[in-house]
């Protein structure tokens, strides 16, 4: 009997050891995934009216409050249905509501330090308020909102922001956490209502806070627009202080944060450099839908929308021209000349956006166009208003992939756009890199392209003013540029380039050659603004030519993917080739869709359909679609073994023995076998495998 008891005990140890091993591995795997879920920062970006705030608010909801459509369990007809079922199942078990940091709240921490009289002076100036009673009313209501207690807590937060190590007592951090999460958003909302009621304008709050933000990045002061521009990280640093407090004081073990919203590419870079778990998510929307939202739902006029757009897209002079045109149409009814009104609009523009140099504006002022270009994930929604089922479905997909990479595969559209994104880095354009891909109707690759000069012609990034002025490397420059073409004004243009080289500050830029853009230099020389003089082929154009040049197959009915969107010339080529669908990221500022693709016999040759891109791109594409573990191994390590029957049997045996039920006979046979413990070890090894 002693031998039997000994064997029984040894069998118990083997089973327990096996189960302990499985449990340990399970815990390790869960811990690895928990690290992915523990801390995530999403920075929203997009134009006013694109849905950044709506998406941010959705991220802050509990899973049940999202009211997602239930996946079909019976009528499954596509991969999309299967993917949605997988995403929904995972999100239901692992969804964590996000904490929201509104950029306006970060801006308000600068505003609170200002007296009511300082703010009212600027409000009176900007909104042309002549009624002093209204200003007095504003100051009284602002002072009642901005209490001494609020200012004292804000001062504590500023002390935290300005301390090098961000050291502060734990008790005070909890106080600041409540202030940032609850008190500050309420104050911001009331300030918004106050401004709207005083100015009698729905857009006053937006314009004023755009101005505040630009000033903070320019001078570090929300009321000073005449700085040096060295504070371009100021607002990002303030937002980072929010993140630090949220991360340390969050009630949940996980800390997921969404920032609504990021408006400059440098702010995105600042956060991306500090947090590997940071993702810039761009909300893209059809221009007509965006205008409808702002006009019909928010109540903004076209003039007010254009004013906000100018601030977000500072380089888009076209927007300013449209603004002037609309302004003239309104004002001309009063008998004033277009020239007078154009000057008035220019003065209004100067009043709002300051007279700081364009160089400073490039760094300190909003630039949503560049933010969208640098985004990790793009979401375009077909929802206009209502329950936002399409938007919620897409948000949950990409948040789930961030939390559990590789749980589903990239879409065909994502895969092709990622190739276009990779292709664009081959571009030697000194201004902007664009990539393009052409596929057949089954998403099979037919050609790729990027904006660059024709084959055997040197890229712009390898040409510079120093070499052309000294006569070096003549093969990289045209006869016209070198001043040797006797039939044109090339000599004068050559002198222009030499003068430009003399202006190059070699003492300040010792590590780079003075590269130049021929188109810009020629337009400056000839005092024109002609886009024809570009040296490069467009990315889409190069992809089209590659098909023809190398005898590619017919792409009639195929698709075009571009990291921008086709200009008028490329759109015509796409139409002629029979491209049926165009997927793009950022709209080209032209009349492509309205004019070039708005005419023709649609029955004989349908015009291409335009689609705003939805998906991950660049580093995010690789990151969220690369599984942490192979799916088969993950399930096995979490307890779903290759031979689950064997494992279940071991579990049952362990359970029976621990309850004192007889397994003595089986154990005695194992112990009494010829190989003894060696055989028992072999059995254990087989079970583990």
- Grouping H, G, I as helix, E, B as strand and the rest as coil, residue 582 is strand
Residues above pLDDT 90, as percent of the chain: 53
Q: What is the band of 308 on the pLDDT scale with cuts at 50, 70, 90? A: confident
How many degrees, rounded to 5, is the angle at CA 169 between CA 167 and CA 171?
Answer: 145
Q: 661 or 354: whose pLDDT is higher?
A: 354
**Across 167-171, 462-466, 641-645, least confident range:** 641-645
Flag whether pLDDT at 2 surpasses 80.
no
Using alpha carbons only, give the angle 531, 536, 539 rounded to the nearest 5 degrees.
Answer: 100
The mean per-residue pLDDT over the stretch 111-132 comes to 89
* Antiparallel, parallel or unpaired: β 377-380 and 255-260: unpaired
Mean pLDDT of 196-214: 85
Predicted confidence (pLDDT) at residue 178 exceeds the cutoff of 90: yes
8 A C-beta contact, residue 671 and residue 680: yes
Using DSSP bridges, classify how beta strands 559-562 and 435-439 pair: parallel, antiparallel or unpaired: antiparallel
> Alpha-carbon distance 528 to 207, whole Å?
33
User: Is 10 a residue whose pLDDT tops 70?
Assistant: no
> How confident is the model at residue 675, as a pLDDT?
40
Return the structure tokens found at 132.
């002093």
Rounded Cα–Cα distance for residues 595 and 588 (Å): 13
**Highest-pLDDT range among 204-218, 266-280, 572-586:** 266-280
Backbone angles phi, psi at 405, to 5 degrees: -60, 140
Note the Cα 362 to chain centre separation in Å. 19
What is the model's pLDDT at position 227? Answer: 75
Q: Does position 1 have pLDDT exceeding 90, yes or no?
A: no
39's enclosing H/E stretch is strand 39-45
On whether the CB atoms of residues 616 and 315 are closer than 8 A, the answer is no
Q: Can the peptide bond before residue 423 be classed as cis, meaning omega within 30 degrees of 0?
A: no
Q: How many CA atoms lie within 13 A of 618 on its CB side?
A: 15
Mark out the alpha helices in 148-233 (DSSP H runs).
148-162, 170-178, 184-199, 204-219
Q: For 218-236, what is the mean pLDDT?
A: 87
Crossing angle between the packed helical segments 2-38 and 644-658, to the nearest 10 degrees: 120
Name the one residue in this structure whose structure tokens are 């009063």: 334
Q: Which of 127-136, 157-166, 328-337 has the lowest mean pLDDT?
A: 328-337
Burial (CB count within 10 angstroms: exposed 0-12, middle 13-18, buried 19+), residue 222: buried
The pLDDT value given to residue 275: 96
Cβ atoms within 10 Å, residue 417? 28
Pairing of strands 435-439, 445-450: antiparallel
The mean pLDDT value of the chain amounts to 83
**Residue linked to tokens 């927007």:** 319
For residue 554, the model assigns a pLDDT of: 75
What would you report as the CA-atom Rg of the chain, rounded to the nearest whole angstrom?
A: 32
pLDDT band with cut points at 50, 70 and 90 for residue 664: very low
In this structure, are residues 9 and 228 in contact, taking their beta carbons and an 8 Å threshold? Answer: no
Q: Is the pLDDT of residue 342 over 60?
A: no
Question: Per-residue pLDDT tens for 597-655?
Answer: 666 655 667 788 999 999 999 999 999 999 999 999 999 888 886 665 555 544 454 44
Cα separation of 47 and 213, whole Å? 15
Q: How far is CA 13 from CA 8, 681, 689, in A?
A: 9, 11, 17
How big, in percent rounded to 5, are the helix, strand and coil portions of the chain? 60, 10, 35
Average pLDDT over residues 231-240: 95
Q: Where does the pLDDT of residue 688 fall: very low under 50, low under 70, confident under 90, or very high at 90 and above?
A: very low
More confident position, 54 or 1 = 54
pLDDT score recorded for residue 167: 64
**Measured between alpha carbons, how far is 508 from 505 in angstroms, rounded to an integer?**
5
Separation of alpha carbons 153 and 240, rounded Å: 18
Structure confidence at residue 296 as a pLDDT band (50, 70, 90): confident
**Comparing 220 with 605, which gets the higher pLDDT?**
220
Please report the pLDDT score of residue 671 as a whole number: 37
pLDDT (tens digit per residue) in 477-524: 999 999 999 889 999 999 999 999 999 998 888 899 999 999 999 999
3-state secondary structure of 446: strand
Q: Is the pLDDT of residue 36 over 60?
A: yes
Q: Which residue, chain included where needed, has tokens 């490397």? A: 473
150 pLDDT higher than 90: yes
Its sign, for the CA torsion 271, 273, 279, 282, is positive
Min mean pLDDT across 271-280, 330-339, 448-457 is at: 330-339
Residue 569: burial class (beta carbons within 10 Å; 0-12, 13-18, 19+) = middle
What's the confidence (pLDDT) of residue 689? 35
Which of 303-307, 356-360, 367-371, 453-457 has the least mean pLDDT? 356-360
Asked if residue 71 has pLDDT above 60, the reply is yes
Average pLDDT over every residue of 427-456: 94
Q: Is the dihedral of CA 5, 8, 14, 16 positive or negative?
A: negative
> Which pLDDT score is estimated for 25?
85
Give backbone dihedrals phi and psi of 562, rounded to 5 degrees, phi first.
-140, 140
d(CA 122, CA 137): 15
DSSP states along 218-269: HHSSTT---S-STTTTHHHHHHHHHHHHHHHH-SSSSEEEEEE---SHHHHH
Q: What are the pLDDT digits (tens) for 527-573? A: 888 777 889 999 999 999 999 887 766 788 999 999 998 888 898 89
pLDDT at residue number 9: 64
> What is the pLDDT at residue 593?
59
pLDDT band at residue 364 using 50, 70 and 90 as cut-offs:
confident
- CA nearest 687: which of 11, 24, 28, 30? 11
User: What mean pLDDT do residues 138-147 have?
Assistant: 94
So what's the pLDDT on residue 349? 56
Tell me the mean pLDDT in the region 115-144.
90
Domains and CATH numbers, the chain: 99-380 (no CATH), 415-452+536-613 (3.40.140.10), 460-533 (no CATH)
Residues in the chain: 689
Q: Which helix (H) or strand (E) covers residue 560, if one does?
A: strand 559-562
Distance (Å, whole) CA 284 – CA 417: 15
- Position 414 scores a pLDDT of 98
- CB contact at 8 A, 97 and 61: yes
**Tokens at 125, concatenated:** 């100036």
Report residue 436 CA to chain centroid gap.
20
């Amino acid at each position: 009997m002693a031998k039997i008891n000994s064997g029984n005990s040894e069998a118990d140890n083997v089973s327990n050891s096996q189960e302990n091993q499985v449990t340990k591995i399970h815990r390790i795997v869960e811990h690895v995934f928990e690290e992915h879920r523990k801390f995530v920062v999403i920075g929203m970006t997009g134009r006013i009216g694109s849905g950044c705030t709506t998406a941010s608010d959705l991220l802050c909801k509990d899973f049940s409050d999202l009211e997602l459509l239930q996946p079909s369990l019976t009528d499954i007809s596509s991969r999309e249905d299967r993917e949605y079922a997988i995403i929904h199942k995972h999100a239901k078990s692992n969804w964590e509501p996000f904490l929201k940091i509104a950029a306006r709240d970060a801006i308000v921490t600068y505003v609170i330090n200002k007296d009511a009289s300082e703010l009212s002076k600027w409000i009176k100036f900007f909104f042309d308020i002549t009624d002093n009673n209204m200003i007095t009313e504003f100051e009284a209501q602002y002072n009642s909102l901005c209490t001494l207690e609020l200012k004292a807590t804000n001062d504590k937060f500023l002390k935290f922001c300005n301390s090098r190590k961000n050291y502060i007592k734990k008790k005070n951090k909890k106080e600041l956490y409540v202030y940032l999460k609850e008190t500050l958003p309420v104050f911001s909302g009331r300030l918004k209502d106050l401004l709207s009621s005083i100015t009698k304008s729905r857009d006053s709050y937006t314009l004023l806070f755009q101005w505040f933000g630009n000033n903070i990045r320019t001078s570090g002061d929300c009321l000073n627009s005449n700085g040096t521009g060295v504070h371009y990280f100021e607002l990002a640093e303030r937002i980072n202080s929010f993140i630090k407090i949220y991360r340390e004081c969050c009630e949940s073990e996980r800390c997921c944060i969404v920032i609504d919203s990021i408006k400059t590419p440098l702010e995105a870079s600042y956060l991306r450099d500090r947090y590997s778990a940071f993702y810039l998510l761009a909300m893209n929307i059809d221009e007509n839908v965006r205008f409808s939202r702002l006009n019909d739902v928010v109540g903004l006029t076209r003039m007010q929308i254009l004013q906000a757009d100018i601030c977000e897209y500072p380089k888009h002079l076209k927007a300013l021209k449209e603004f002037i045109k609309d302004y003239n149409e309104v004002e001309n009814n009063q008998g004033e000349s277009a020239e007078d009104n154009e000057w008035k609009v220019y003065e209004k523009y100067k009043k709002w956006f300051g007279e700081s140099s364009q160089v400073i504006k490039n760094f300190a002022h909003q630039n949503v166009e560049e933010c969208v270009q640098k985004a990790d994930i793009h979401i375009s929604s077909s929802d206009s208003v209502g329950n936002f089922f399409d938007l919620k479905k897409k948000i949950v997909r990409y948040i789930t992939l961030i939390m559990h990479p590789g749980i589903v595969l990239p879409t065909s559209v994502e895969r092709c756009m990622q190739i276009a994104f990779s292709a664009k880095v081959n571009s030697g354009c000194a201004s902007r890199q664009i990539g393009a891909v052409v596929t057949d109707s089954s998403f099979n690759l037919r050609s790729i392209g990027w904006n660059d000069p024709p084959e055997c012609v040197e890229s712009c990034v390898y040409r510079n003013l120093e070499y052309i002025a000294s006569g070096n490397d003549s093969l990289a420059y045209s006869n016209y540029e070198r001043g040797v073409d006797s039939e044109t004004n090339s000599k004068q243009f050559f002198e222009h380039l030499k003068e430009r080289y003399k202006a190059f500050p070699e003492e300040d830029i010792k590590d780079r050659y003075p590269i130049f853009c021929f188109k810009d230099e020629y337009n400056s020389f000839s005092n024109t603004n002609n886009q024809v003089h570009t040296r490069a082929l467009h990315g889409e154009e190069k992809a089209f030519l590659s098909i023809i040049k190398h005898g590619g197959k017919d792409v009639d009915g195929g698709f075009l993917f571009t990291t921008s969107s086709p200009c008028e010339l490329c759109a015509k080529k796409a139409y002629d080739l029979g491209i049926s669908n165009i997927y793009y990221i950022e709209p080209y500022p032209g009349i492509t869709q309205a004019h070039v693709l708005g005419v023709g016999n649609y029955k004989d040759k349908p015009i291409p359909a335009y689609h705003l891109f939805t998906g991950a791109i660049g580093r995010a594409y690789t990151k969220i679609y690369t599984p942490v573990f192979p799916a088969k191994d993950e399930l096995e390590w979490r307890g779903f073994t290759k031979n689950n029957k064997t494992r279940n049997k071991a579990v049952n045996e362990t359970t029976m023995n621990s309850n004192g039920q007889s397994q003595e006979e089986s154990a005695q046979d194992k112990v009494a076998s010829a190989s003894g413990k060696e055989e028992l070890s072999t059995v254990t090894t087989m079970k583990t495998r």
